Amino acid sequence: MVILNKIYTRTGDEGTTSLGTGERVKKHSLRIAAYGTIDETNASIGLVRLHTQNDANIDSMLARIQNDLFDLGADLCAPDNGEKLEYTPLRITQAQVDRLESEIDQLNSELSPLRSFVLPGGSAAAASLHLARTISRRAERLIVELDEMENEPVGAVVIKYINRLSDFFFVASRYLNQKGESDVLWVPGQNQ
């Protein structure tokens, strides 16, 4: 259980922070940037949910995703270097990926096939989901870059989850745009 009695600790005043392993790293390290961008994705979902209160199904999916993103951040915060920790670190699981895929399939089954790329827009909820999608894609790029670094392990399931997440946001945006009817479609060369 997390207990936060005091918000500031002054331990980061010199530009470092602690990982879940206890190791101190620079605040600009790639690992911190990766899970910081996961946090940014989560905050953007909070804004999306201001527009999804009338759709209990989508809103509950987004609430689960917000919780998953805290799990994912915790996973990234305690890299598995093979060292024994004093606690069992939280890890993203395949079941979380499977649930996300199932929800994507459920929403996508009600959409007509796309015949053009979709521009961010339509409803406020859909536009907000597109923003969350782009932030999650940035998080994915950072996570993959981190995984390719020596001595910076990332769980394979973390990469799967973050890859599926942007797909979820895309499909959910179309679903909320009246099942794709209000999508804003790209018209190649329209303004040439």
pLDDT in tens, 8-26: 778 677 887 888 887 888 8
> What's the total number of domains in the chain?
1
pLDDT one-digit tens code per residue, 141-188: 999 999 999 999 999 999 999 999 999 999 999 999 987 689 888 989
Position 2 scores a pLDDT of: 66
CATH of the domain at 123: 1.20.1200.10
Residue 17 belongs to a domain = no
Position 65 scores a pLDDT of: 98
Q: How far apart are CA 23 and CA 124, in angstroms?
A: 42
Q: Is the pLDDT of residue 67 over 70?
A: yes
Residue 159 belongs to a domain = yes
pTM: 0.91
Q: Judging by beta carbons within 10 Å of its beta carbon (0-12, 13-18, 19+), is residue 33 exposed, middle or buried?
A: middle
- Tally helices (H) and strands (E) across the chain: 5, 4
Residue 12 belongs to a domain = no
Q: How far apart are CA 46 and CA 96, in angstroms?
A: 20
Q: How far apart are CA 17 and CA 14, in angstroms?
A: 9
Residue 101 belongs to a domain = yes
Residue 4 belongs to a domain = no
Position 85 scores a pLDDT of: 84
Position 1 scores a pLDDT of: 60
Residue 191 belongs to a domain = no
Residue 2 belongs to a domain = no
Q: Which residues pair with 25 in a beta bridge?
A: 17
Residue 187 belongs to a domain = no
Report CA-CA distances (Å) from 176 to 58, 98, 101, 152, 162. 9, 22, 18, 38, 21
Single-letter residue type at 98: D
Residue 158's domain spans which residues?
A: 24-111+119-180
